[in-house]
Amino acid sequence: MKTSLKKPLKVLFVCAEAAPFVKVGGLGEVMRALPKAMRELGVDARVFVPKYASVDQKKFPMKRVMDRIRIASKEEDPNGILISQVLMHTHDTESGGVTYFLENEECYEKRANVYGYSDDTMRFVLLSRAAVEFMRRSEWKPDFVIANDWMTGFVPDLMRTEFKDDPVLKGIGTIFCIHNLHNQGTFAPDFVPEMEADFGRKPIPPFFSDMKYLNGMRRGILYADQVVTVSPTYAREILSDEYGEKLEGVLQERRANLTGIMNGIDVDVFNPMTDPLVVFRYDARHTENRARNKAVLQEKMGLTRDDASMLLAYNGRLDKQKGITLIQDVIRQLLDNLPIQFVLLGDGSSEYKMFFQKLVEDYPGRAAAMLQYDGEMPKVIYAGADAMLMPSKFEPAGLVQLEAMRYGAIPIVRKTGGLADTVEDADPEHRIGTGFVFEKYDAQALLISVVRAYETYRNAHEWRRLVERAMAQDFSWKNSARKYIALCKRMQGKEKTAGKRTKSEPKGKGR
């Protein structure tokens, strides 16, 4: 049921991808779920995204709402390559909703992929400029625009510099959301010479000029009225040298306007009581069928049918950031000394794949690995595994721990980012907690946490209580949406603060 607001907020999300139209990673899923949750709370939340070649116009019919947007001057673009159109798709869902698509044949419709081109920066500057032009010319005017990650960090930049005196844009608040601070443009931040780094104070260069080191992340942070990242703990962590990705200086400048709002999950999609991929359905009050789903998982992955062994699982990229090297360091000790089984689902470098292939060979019936992406297996794993390993080096938000808890698979996590915000360390004596948490990033700390989990698992009564507490947590997008709405309400009527800092060219690391 929609919640009525006295004066409904109007919010435009500008992004590089948005499910169900186009999805490469987690950003695409957030751009489906968060606007939907806000609409269900009475907000007129709309999305602005490129119309890539992969967008199925037959499945998502569109009509043209804005024709021939000339984003660059005739002198700069004499052949009209950048002239674009805006199409609109109206969602056929209970929550309603509108998605706008930027149509440009050269930059989007001729491309097989969303990312990975040498001119990606130019393509996303085009998206940002087009979004600004759309807001200037459209009859529908948002109260707030929410730009997402480096690809659209140019939106608040343009609105607070080049278009700062525009009477229409002056009344629109800007929010910049950081989903992954490491990705700042089409370059690796660690290898940019300081003399060539983009500090964000100079105008965005013309199209078809050198945009090699243009830093959309820094510009979004610098110019947005409010900066949001995807968990409260990560918002604090990125102020430090360890997590700041060389942007800790500008983030410290903006700390009064920096907040963290935890991502959520779609609890209708992730629901073990209705999920078609769960063979034996269950909920938080009736978890008996998890044992039967464990047998299903063991059969699917070629493990020995064993009700007593604790089944550990990992689902994610085979990447050092995810703590995969810590798992490598401890998994053989665990298999050698405890009655456990291990399942891994993930893709990554050949080095990691070879390690886990050898592990499966050395522990037949006790270790299994699926070393490529599979869209259905995560839910099968969540429904059947006893515990999920997430020993991440850093984790802005994390989704696996939320999805796993929804299905009753207990997370074993390092205390960082969104993992710290969503998993409470278990204390069986006081009957609290939803998982097992360790702080130091080393193999010994992970090993101790797994042993703690195993000792609790041995007590069936306590383990069942732990599973029930984990499944009872509310990580729905509605909670996150309420916080975004509250942020917008706080911002309404307040004087804009971005762009009032010194105009001198910053120097040094993180400036």
State pLDDT tens for residues 234-277: 999 999 999 999 999 999 999 999 999 999 999 999 999 999 99
Look at residue 507 in the predicted model and tell me its pLDDT. Answer: 43
| Token pair for 70 | 């000339």
What's the confidence (pLDDT) of residue 502? 39
**Cα–Cα dist 273/313, whole Å:** 21
Reported as a pLDDT band with limits 50, 70 and 90, residue 60 is: very high
**pLDDT over 90, % of the chain:** 86
Domain 10-264+479-491 has CATH 3.40.50.1970: no
pLDDT > 70: percent of the chain: 95
- CATH fold for the domain made of 290-471: Rossmann fold (3.40.50)
Does the fold of domain 290-471 match that of domain 10-264+479-491?
A: yes
pLDDT at 194: 83
pLDDT bucket at 1, cuts 50 / 70 / 90: very low
Q: What's the mean pLDDT in 71-90?
A: 92
The structural domains of the chain, with segments of one domain joined by +, span: 10-264+479-491, 290-471
The per-residue pLDDT for 94 is 54
Q: Looking at residue 466, what is its pLDDT?
A: 97
> How far is the C-alpha of 356 from the C-alpha of 199, rounded, in Å?
43
DSSP 348-394: B-HHHHHHHHHHHHHSTTTEEEE-S--SSHHHHHHHH-SEEEE--S-
On the question of a cis peptide bond just before residue 232, with omega within 30 degrees of 0, the verdict is no
pLDDT at residue 259 in the model = 98
Residue 197 has which token pair? 């780094």
Mean of all residue pLDDT scores within the chain: 93
Give DSSP secondary structure letters for 33-50. HHHHHHHHTT-EEEEEEE
pLDDT at position 176 is 98
pLDDT in tens, 86-106: 999 998 765 579 999 999 999
Q: Which residue has the tokens 């063991």?
A: 298
Dist. CA 412–CA 429, nearest whole Å: 18
Asked if pLDDT for residue 511 goes beyond 70, the answer is no
Per-residue model confidence (pLDDT) at position 93: 66
DSSP conformation letters of 47-86: EEEE--TTS-TTTS--EEEEEEE--S-TTT-TT-TT-EEE
CA 290 – CA 379 distance, rounded (Å): 12
Phi, psi of 33 (to 5 degrees): -75, -45
Most confident of 64-78, 90-104, 432-446, 489-503: 432-446
- Looking at this protein, which amino acid is placed at residue 248? E
Report pLDDT digits (tens) over 315-330.
999 999 999 999 999 9
pLDDT on residue 501: 45
> What local confidence, expressed as pLDDT, does residue 497 receive?
47
Position 441 pLDDT exceeds 50: yes
pLDDT value for 189: 86
Per-residue pLDDT tens over the stretch 6-33: 678 999 999 999 999 999 888 998 999 9
Under 8 Å CB-to-CB from 269, ≥6 apart: which residues? none
pLDDT of 493: 65
Read off the pLDDT of residues 146-200 as tens digits, 9 standing for 90 and up. 999 999 999 999 999 999 999 999 999 999 999 999 999 999 888 888 888 999 9
Q: Is the pLDDT of residue 340 over 60?
A: yes
Return the higher-pLDDT residue of 339 and 5.
339
**Which of 107, 69, 71 has its CA nearest to residue 86?**
69
Q: Poorest-confidence range of 7-16, 68-77, 435-444?
A: 68-77
